[in-house]
């Protein structure tokens, strides 16, 4: 991630017509690097709170695009996890404390959601680029965590296989922030439809190349969300997913 500012600067020096940024750090680096080149974002966090745009309706600068609402779905993910596994009482949240501000915002939102659902809560903080996952796993076992939430970011994403293996070995239900991690063996995810988000971002690039100004293009929020459940993983960890929940899932992996 420390290479991002340099890569953005290189693109600005090449005088590209549009920059597309798809992570909080990349959007911030692009905003700092140029006030003139249009930037189309696919933002995982609230772009107003992050200071990227003035408002969703009127971005006001050279940035516009799509919000994934990844962080704002924290409470819903916990509710779904509790519905799938009513017996859970202590949630562990695996997150990267060295990447600001996205994971820290997510951690606080999960903490608030856990409190409202009367669930105990344990921070399993790691720090990139070389996270101490073994230490986090030991802390989870020592704290008797009986479910795991994984906060998405590049450091954690690269370790998804190790995390999945740990949850299956220890029969831990897990909820993730993207369907690709469930396809890789995580138990469940709830998120906006990312392929649709990127297709929408492409339409912004098209409009800008045809002369539209980013300041005048409202930022879009997703309208489609998907619940993905890995039934194969559920069986591996000895979990029976309620039939009505399976019926509501947008995708069930068998």
| 71-191+226-253 has CATH 3.40.50.2300 classification | yes
- Residue-level pLDDT at 71: 66
Residue pair 131/95 in contact by the 8 Å Cβ criterion:
no
What are the residue ranges spanned by the domains of the chain?
Answer: 4-68+193-223, 71-191+226-253
- Residue-level pLDDT at 101: 72
Residue range 237-246, pLDDT digits in tens: 999 999 999 9
Residue range 177-215, pLDDT digits in tens: 999 999 999 999 999 988 899 999 999 999 999 999 999
d(CA 11, CA 226): 34
- Chain mean pLDDT for the chain: 93
Using the predicted structure, report yes or no on whether residue 132 has a pLDDT greater than 80. yes
User: Cα-flanking dihedrals φ and ψ of residue 150, to 5°?
Assistant: -115, 120
Residue range 27-67, pLDDT digits in tens: 999 999 999 999 999 998 889 988 999 999 999 999 999 99
Nearest residue to 231 (alpha-carbon basis) of 173, 167, 187, 184: 187
Residue range 5-19, pLDDT digits in tens: 999 999 999 999 999
Q: Is the pTM of this model over 0.95?
A: no
Using the predicted structure, report yes or no on whether residue 1 has a pLDDT greater than 80. no
DSSP symbols for 80-98 = HHHHH-TT--EEEEEEETT
Query: Class for domain 4-68+193-223, per CATH?
Result: alpha beta
- Residue-level pLDDT at 171: 96
- Residue-level pLDDT at 104: 85
Instruction: Please give the residue that has the higher pLDDT: either 212 or 103.
Output: 212
Domains 4-68+193-223 and 71-191+226-253 agree in fold: yes
């Amino acid at each position: 991630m420390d290479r991002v500012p340099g890569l953005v600067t290189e693109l600005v020096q090449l005088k590209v017509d549009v920059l597309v940024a798809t992570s909080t750090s990349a959007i911030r680096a692009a905003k700092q690097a140029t006030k003139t080149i249009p930037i189309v974002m696919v933002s995982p966090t609230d772009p107003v709170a992050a200071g990227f745009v003035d408002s969703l309706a009127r971005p006001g600068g050279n940035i516009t695009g799509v919000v994934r609402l990844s962080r704002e779905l924290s409470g819903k993910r916990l509710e779904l996890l509790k519905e799938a596994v009513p017996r859970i009482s202590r949630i562990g949240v695996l997150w990267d404390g060295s990447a600001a501000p996205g994971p820290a915002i997510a951690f606080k939102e999960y903490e608030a959601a856990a409190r409202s659902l009367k669930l105990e809560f344990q921070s399993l903080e790691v720090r990139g680029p070389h996270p101490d996952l073994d230490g986090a796993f030991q802390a989870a076992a020592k704290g008797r965590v009986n479910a795991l939430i994984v906060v998405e970011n590049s450091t954690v994403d690269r370790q998804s296989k190790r995390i999945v293996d740990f949850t299956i070995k220890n029969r831990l239900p897990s909820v993730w922030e993207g369907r690709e991690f469930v396809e890789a063996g995580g138990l469940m995810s709830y998120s906006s439809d990312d392929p649709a988000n990127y297709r929408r971002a492409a339409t912004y690039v098209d409009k800008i190349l045809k002369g539209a100004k980013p300041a005048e293009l409202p930022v879009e929020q997703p309208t489609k969300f998907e619940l993905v459940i890995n039934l194969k993983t559920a069986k591996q960890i000895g979990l029976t997913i309620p039939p009505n929940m399976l019926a509501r899932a947008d995708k069930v992996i068998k």
